[in-house]
């Protein structure tokens, strides 16, 4: 596989990935610690005939990005936790209308204004249900500088495959970390682009929301002669509002099934020294880097520790977690929150003895904190 080496930050790499993945529009509003993404996009989008717009606030930023998605182009917005809270209503609109969109969330301390310049992983639960109602969220989480790039690329492909918002979680540490990353070439990324489906028949036979029970809508780009309607209300096969009982039921069930029944296309994880492990550390994002260093120290001391790192957080790699937890005696979740993913690990594994190491003061978790916690166990 051809590769290239770059020296950059996580935020800048996420913006570069968007350009290479074919993104043509960015709508957003600056917010620490994600602002560098918009700064980069303001330079990168004009280079490829796209546009980057700073709107008056986070709500308008995501609304503009959704509008671009409706027109048929690949589109992105970026923010942090408070911005996601403001974008929530429009994110629900994108879920209901099935407009593909990539949302990068560079996590910081919360709730509310929280710790704007400090690291956190407090938006994990929010990413599962960023808006009200029934639907299935897709969320990926980068664990290295290289993955700030590759997971953003993957998010665009997932967004067009499943026709819905896809969330990319970074955190302040990864977003502002500056170092070398080995990336696929632009040509390889372009060759792997999965375009959204379009209907090519007669206009009178086009029904965007008339699709199989486990498939997304087929939304032809606007201004191409195909008429349909966008609404946040329950809608019929053309997109027009309806309260017909069976139509409403099938619509909401399909929003669930189009993801749930195709998890094999979405789920991704990394396993590190788990073959003979007697304790499994579950960590993601920047915390997984500290966990790997801790495992090397623990192994040197004769303690058989290993790492399970979910890359796709939602839907979670629950089957694999259950398999591993069935044979590994101890499980430790290490997170920069108060156990938001531990709840999912407990649910997935059926075990209530999942240990935790959590920190919520805006400071990272060091390898030695993990080493000491494992030794306590």
CATH number assigned to the domain comprising residue 14: 3.40.50.970
Do both 296 and 159 map to the same domain? no
pLDDT at 342: 98
Do both 14 and 118 map to the same domain? yes
**If you average pLDDT over residues 314-318, what whole number do you get?**
97
Task: Specify the residue for token string 């492909």.
Answer: 157
* Domain housing 313: 270-376
Q: Which residues pair with 183 in a beta bridge?
A: 4
Residue 12 phi, psi (nearest 5): -65, -35
**Which residues, in sequence order, are CB contacts of 349 under 8 Å at separation 6+?**
321, 322, 325, 326, 331
In tens, the pLDDT along 106-127 reads 999 999 999 999 999 999 999 9
Do both 324 and 177 map to the same domain? no
Yes or no: say if 126 and 97 are a contact pair by the CB < 8 Å rule: no
Number of domains the chain contains: 2
**If you average pLDDT over residues 28-46, what whole number do you get?**
98
Three-class SS of 203-264: HHHCCCCCCCCCCCCCCCCCCCCCCCCCCCCCECCCCCECCCHHHHHHHHHHHHHHHHCCHH
Tell me whether residue 254 is in a domain: no
The secondary structure element, H or E, covering residue 305 is strand 305-310
Do both 160 and 282 map to the same domain? no
Tell me whether residue 117 is in a domain: yes
Three-class SS of 273-287: CCCCCCEEEECCCCH
Tell me whether residue 66 is in a domain: yes
Do both 58 and 155 map to the same domain? yes
Tell me whether residue 160 is in a domain: yes
Do both 149 and 36 map to the same domain? yes
Do both 37 and 174 map to the same domain? yes
Tell me whether residue 227 is in a domain: no
CA 358 to mean position of chain CA atoms = 22
In tens, the pLDDT along 182-233 reads 999 999 999 999 889 999 999 999 999 999 999 999 999 988 899 999 999 9
Yes or no: say if 22 and 193 are a contact pair by the CB < 8 Å rule: yes
Tell me whether residue 212 is in a domain: no
Determine if the pTM surpasses 0.95. yes
The secondary structure element, H or E, covering residue 263 is none
Do both 319 and 174 map to the same domain? no
Q: What is the CATH number of the domain that holds 368?
A: 3.40.50.920
| Domain-ending residue, one of 156, 191, 226 | 191
| Domain-ending residue, one of 142, 158, 191 | 191
Please determine, for residue 273, whether its predicted confidence score (pLDDT) is greater than 80. Answer: yes
**If you average pLDDT over residues 160-179, what whole number do you get?**
98
Q: Which residues pair with 6 in a beta bridge?
A: 181
Do both 177 and 316 map to the same domain? no
Tell me whether residue 287 is in a domain: yes
Do both 12 and 128 map to the same domain? yes
Return the closest-CA partner of residue 165 out of 98, 230, 212.
Answer: 98
Tell me whether residue 15 is in a domain: yes
Do both 152 and 15 map to the same domain? yes
């Amino acid at each position: 596989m051809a590769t290239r080496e770059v020296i950059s930050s996580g935020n800048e790499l996420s913006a570069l990935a968007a350009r290479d993945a074919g993104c043509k529009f960015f709508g957003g509003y600056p917010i620490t610690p994600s602002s560098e993404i918009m700064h980069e996009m303001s330079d990168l989008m004009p280079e490829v005939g796209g546009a980057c717009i700073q709107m008056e606030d986070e709500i308008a930023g995501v609304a503009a990005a959704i509008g671009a998605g409706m027109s048929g182009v690949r589109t992105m917005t970026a923010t942090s936790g408070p911005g996601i809270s403001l974008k929530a209503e429009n994110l629900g609109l994108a879920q209901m209308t099935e407009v593909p969109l990539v949302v990068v969330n560079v996590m910081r301390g919360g709730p509310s204004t929280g710790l704007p310049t400090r690291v956190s992983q407090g938006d994990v639960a929010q990413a599962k249900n960023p808006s009200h109602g029934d639907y299935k969220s897709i969320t990926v989480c980068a664990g290295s500088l290289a993955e700030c790039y590759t997971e953003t690329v993957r998010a665009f492909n997932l967004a067009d495959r499943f026709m819905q918002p896809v969330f990319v979680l970074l955190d302040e540490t990864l977003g502002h970390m500056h170092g070398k990353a080995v990336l696929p070439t632009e040509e390889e990324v372009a060759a792997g682009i999965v375009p959204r489906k379009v209907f090519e028949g007669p206009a009178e036979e086009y029904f965007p929301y008339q699709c199989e029970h486990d498939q997304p809508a087929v939304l032809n780009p606007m201004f191409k002669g195909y008429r349909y309607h966008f609404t946040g209300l329950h809608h019929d096969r053309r997109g027009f509002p309806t309260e017909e009982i069976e139509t409403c039921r099938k619509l909401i069930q399909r929003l669930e099934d189009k993801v749930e029944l195709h998890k094999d296309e979405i789920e991704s994880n990394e396993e590190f020294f788990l073959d003979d492990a007697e304790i499994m550390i579950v960590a993601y994002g920047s915390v997984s880097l500290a966990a790997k260093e801790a495992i090397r120290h623990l192994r040197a001391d004769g303690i058989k520790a290993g790492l399970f790192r979910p890359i796709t957080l939602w839907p979670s790699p629950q089957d694999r977690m259950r398999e591993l937890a069935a044979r590994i005696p101890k499980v430790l979740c290490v997170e920069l929150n108060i156990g938001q993913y531990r709840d999912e690990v407990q649910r997935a594994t059926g075990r209530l003895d999942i240990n935790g190491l959590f920190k919520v003061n805006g400071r990272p978790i060091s390898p030695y904190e993990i080493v000491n916690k494992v030794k306590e166990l």
